[in-house]
Structure 1
C-alpha cells in the first residue's frame, strides 16, 4: 500500500463528517426470485474465504437464519474487496459481510476509484465487532511493534483495508512503511507463509481456523497493544480512526484466561440501498431472534449479541429495514438518525459529483488522485 492511498482515505474520513409465507418479487437484474420467510430464496451472502473467522461466524448465523425462515441460505467467498462487492453489485449475492470495502465503496476510493466503480449506494445492516491482530512465531525475538523494523511484513493483494491496518500498527510502533520489507501475498496465504518463513508476521481476525491449525504445528504469539500508551495509540488512530483498542481472549497462542489488546472493529453485514426494507427487516429480525442458537458456535459469535453491535452510523448509513428494527427495539436515537441522514446526503453528493468528474474524461491512472481532490473542492470549497 502506498502513502497516496493512505492520504486519500484519511481525506475521505474527514469529508464524511463535513458532508455528512412464499411470494415472488423482481430483483435489480430483472429476474424473478422466490421469497421465503421474508428472504430471497436462495439468500446468498458474499464474504471472506472459507476457514476465516469471518466466514465461520457467518456460516453459524446463516444456519440459524435458514432454520428460522425456511429460506435456503448460501455463502460465496472472495479474498478481495472487489470480488466480494462485485457479487453484490451483480445481484448474485443479496448481502455481504464485508471489510472496509463497505465504506471504500461508498466513497468510491482506493480500488473503487476507477471507471468501473465509483461511489456505491451501500447501507449497513448489522455491525458486530471482531478482534484482529498481528501474529508472530514464538521465539522469533519479535515482542513489540518496534521490533518489526526490517522484518518481512505482508502486503495483502487487492486489500488496502488490511494494508491500512498494518500500516497503522507499524505507526503504533514508531515505524514508517519504508522501515520494513513488504511481501506481496494473498490474505488467506498468510498462515502458511508465516510457517515457512516467507513473512515474519501475519494480520488476520484472531479466531480463524487456519490460525488454530498453525498453533498446533508451532509456537505462536500475538503482538500486544498497550491502551495506556496514549502517544502510540494516537499514531495508530490517526491512520485508522475506525478501530478500537480492546482486549480479546481464547485465540491461538493465548493461555487460558489470558487477554491481549488488539484492533477491534466492525465487519458489517451490508447491502445495496435498493434492497427491500421488508427483506432487510426480516433478516435483522431473524439474526436477533436466533442469536441464542448461534451465540456459542464460534469464539466471536457472542459479539453478534443485539445488545453489543454498533448502532451509531459512522462512515456508511444504516438501511431503512435496520433502522425500523432498531427503532422498534429502543436502540435508535435522534443522534443516530441525524448522522444517518447526513451520510445519506453525503453519498448522494459523491455519486452526483462522480458523474460530473467522469465527464471531464480523466485518464485512468489519474482517477485515484484526481477524484479525492475533485470531491474535496466541491464539498469544502
Structure 2
C-alpha cells in the first residue's frame, strides 16, 4: 500500500507496503519484553500506527528475558528487537549470559531509543513491607530473573546504592519479568525491577500489597558512584510517569534508554533506513498511545550512546540534519570496541579453555584494557 500525506491509494506490490516516505515489508516481526511491560505496550502502539498508516502488520513476540528476545534476531527470524541494555549493551559486550560459549559479543546496531526521561527504571517494593530506602532491602526477598542480565545487573546496582550485595538479600529466581511482578503481588517476593510505567507496576500498585519506589538522592555522590560502578548507564532522573507517580510532582530515581530498537550489522541498510524513517515520521500517530512512549521522538535521541547506530539509521539522521562529525567518530570508536571484543572471543575459542566462563571474563577485561578501552563488568 502507498501512504500519502493527505490520502491513501491502495495497490498490490509483491507483499510489500510502500509509503511515500518509507518502504517496509507488509509483514514484520519484532521481539519485545513480556506482555504488560512498557516495551511490549509501546511496540504494540507502534504496530497499530504502522497498520493504520500503511497496512503493515507488525507481529510483536514477547520474550521473557534478554536471551529469548535476542535469539530470534540473531537467527534472522525477526527484523528487529525492542529491547533494553541487556539485549543491546550487554550483548555487545559479551557479558553475563552473553558470555556463554554459544553466544559471545554480538554486532548490535541501534536504530532509535526511547530517551523520554519521563520514566525511571528501578526497583519497586511491596508497600506493606515498610521498605523506605534501598538499604532497607537487607534480608528481604528480591527477584532475580533467569537469563536476564540487564534486569539483574540493574537490581544489583540499586542494592549497591543501598550498600548491599546479593549476599545481603534473599534471592528469589523467576523465569521471566512478568512472573517476578506476579510474585510481588502474590507475596512471593518483596522487590522487583521494572520501568515505572510498566503495566505490571500499575497492577502491583492496585493490588493488596501496594507499591513503593525507594528514592535515589543525586546529591549522595558515594551511593550514586556505587550504583554506577555496577551499571554505568544508570543516571539520576525525576520520573513523572508511572504507577503511584502519575499526577504527582515526580519520583527521584534513575533511568536509561528503554526500549531500544536494535538490529545487527547484517541487517539490510535499506530496511534499517526505512524502519528508522517510519518510526520518526509516524511518531505523531503513536505518541501518547502508551505510557512513556514520547521518548521515541527524534529530538530525544542520544547520538553518542554506548552501542553504535546502524548505517541505515545514520543515513536517515544525516538527511534529517541531526548527525554530526562527533557522533560519527563516537560511532566508529564503538564499532572498534566490538571488533576488539570479537577478536578476543575468536582467539579464545581456538584455545578451548576448560573453564570457559572464567577464561572469557579474564580475556575480555585484558583485551579491553590493552586496547585502551573502558573496562566494564
TM above 0.5, yes or no, is yes
Residues 305-341 of structure 1 show CA distances to partners (whole Å, capped at 9, x for unaligned) of 2111222132x21001111111222221211111111
Alignment equivalent of 2:110, drawn from 117, 124, 132: 124
**1:43 is the counterpart of 2:37:** no
The alignment of Structure 1 onto Structure 2 pairs a total of residues equal to 348
CA distance, structure 2, for counterparts of residue 278 and residue 35 of structure 1: 14
**SS of alignment partner, residue 96 of structure 1:** strand
Cα 1:243/1:94, change in 2 over 3 Å: same
**1:158 is the counterpart of 2:147:** yes
Give the CA deviation at 1:368. 2.1
RMSD value, Cα: 1.9
Q: Which runs of 5+ in 2 are unaligned?
A: 3-13, 371-377
**1:144 is the counterpart of 2:140:** no
Contact 1:237 1:243 in 2 (8 A): yes
Give the CA deviation at 1:94. 0.4
Alignment equivalent of 1:226, drawn from 217, 222, 230: 217
Cα 1:374/1:133, change in 2 over 3 Å: closer
Contact 1:127 1:311 in 2 (8 A): no
Give the CA deviation at 1:48. 0.8
Matches within 5 A, 1:5-154: 34-37=15-18, 38-99=23-84, 100-129=86-115, 131-154=120-143
CA distance, structure 2, for counterparts of residue 211 and residue 377 of structure 1: 40
**SS of alignment partner, residue 167 of structure 2:** helix
Residue in 2 that maps onto 1:205: 195
Contact 2:340 2:367 in 1 (8 A): no
**1:319 is the counterpart of 2:300:** no
Alignment equivalent of 2:227, drawn from 215, 236, 242: 236
Query: Would you identify which runs of 4 or more consecutive aligned residues in structure 1 move more than 4 Å?
Result: none
Q: Which runs of 5+ in 1 are unaligned?
A: 1-20, 23-32
Give the CA deviation at 1:258. 3.1
Residues 147-179 of structure 1 show CA distances to partners (whole Å, capped at 9, x for unaligned) of 111111111111121111111111111122221
Alignment equivalent of 2:356, drawn from 363, 367, 372: 367
Alignment equivalent of 1:284, drawn from 276, 279, 283: 276
Residue in 1 that maps onto 2:160: 171
Residues 4-43 of structure 1 show CA distances to partners (whole Å, capped at 9, x for unaligned) of xxxxxxxxxxxxxxxxx79xxxxxxxxxx95433223311
